Amino acid sequence: MTIAGPSLPADLVERWGIRSSELIADTRTSLVHRVLRRDGSRAITKQLKPEGLHELSGIDFLDWRKGCGSVLVLDRRNTACLLEDAGTLMLKDYRLQHGEDAANNIILSVLGELHSTSVDAPPDSLIPLRSHFQPLFERTSREDKPDLSAALAYSASIADDLLSSQSDIRPLHGDLHHENIVSGSERGWLAIDPQGLLGDPAYDVANVFGNPDGAFADIIDPRRIIRLVDVFAPAIGCEREKILRYAIAHAGLSICWSLEGGDRISGEGNAMERFAFLNIARRLLEERAFSP
């Protein structure tokens, strides 16, 4: 570890008793450090940049969960927080060693804890699911490339229908996937980096379909898509079709985020992967290829 430097403000270094720090992520929205504290414990610090203030609802979600299925918020100061260090083993890597079914079982376990009831009222800051989907609706209205326009219009139509008929509305992690479930501490597998949303619980598994990163062949494999539908529908307590439709809706939204970040459908990045997934999932939905 390196000695804590200017990227960690002096008042936070003192307040949290930080002896040393290691930068582990510098994104458009935040700075994340793994730190060693004076008492010998390790923790994670997350500092939101101006572009990342929308992530405050995610920190509020973690605060509300109080460590149930997710990392603990140890302390907060304005747009920075001190988090439990859940470990360095990502579910993405675990899946490579132990397989898809083992990874899915962990997702189900974490999801069950995240969706469990709490005696505390959820925070008011959680973002409604329809607001979360606005980038998809806005991009669809102005997209002029025929193939992309058709795919986004299809995804947006499904999203609008789902959002108009939500059930069992509750706080959601909003970004659950193989790199946001980690382990290595005595508390086992925990979720990190939530969006902090409010909506239908079926959305909370939608991002699993497009992950893990680097598993494109699996992501577009119809057998895996159907398997995920069959695994998640009973866990959420909804029809299989609903799970697949939320996955399609999220794929369209993810394409829009990627395009805004400079990605291209013709490239080899996330936009291309989600576009390919969307088209295959659409065929499965229209053919009703999933289990009855």
Nearest alpha-carbon partner for 285 in 234, 232, 225, 236: 225
Q: Give yes or no: 218 in active site.
A: no
Q: Of the listed 60, 144, 161, 175, which one is catalytic?
A: 175
The two structure tokens encoding residue 260: 């805004």
Q: Sign of the CA dihedral 192, 108, 54, 60?
A: negative
Structural contact between residues 129 and 203, judged by C-beta atoms closer than 8 angstroms: yes
Structural contact between residues 263 and 271, judged by C-beta atoms closer than 8 angstroms: yes
Structural contact between residues 68 and 61, judged by C-beta atoms closer than 8 angstroms: no
d(Cα 62, Cα 221) in Å, to the nearest integer? Answer: 33
The two structure tokens encoding residue 282: 């659409």
Strand, helix or coil for residue 289: coil
Strand, helix or coil for residue 21: strand
Strands 30-37 and 42-48: antiparallel
Q: Report how far apart, in Å, the C-alpha atoms of 83 and of each of 18, 42, 47, 124 are.
A: 13, 9, 11, 21
Task: Write out the catalytic residue numbers.
Answer: 175
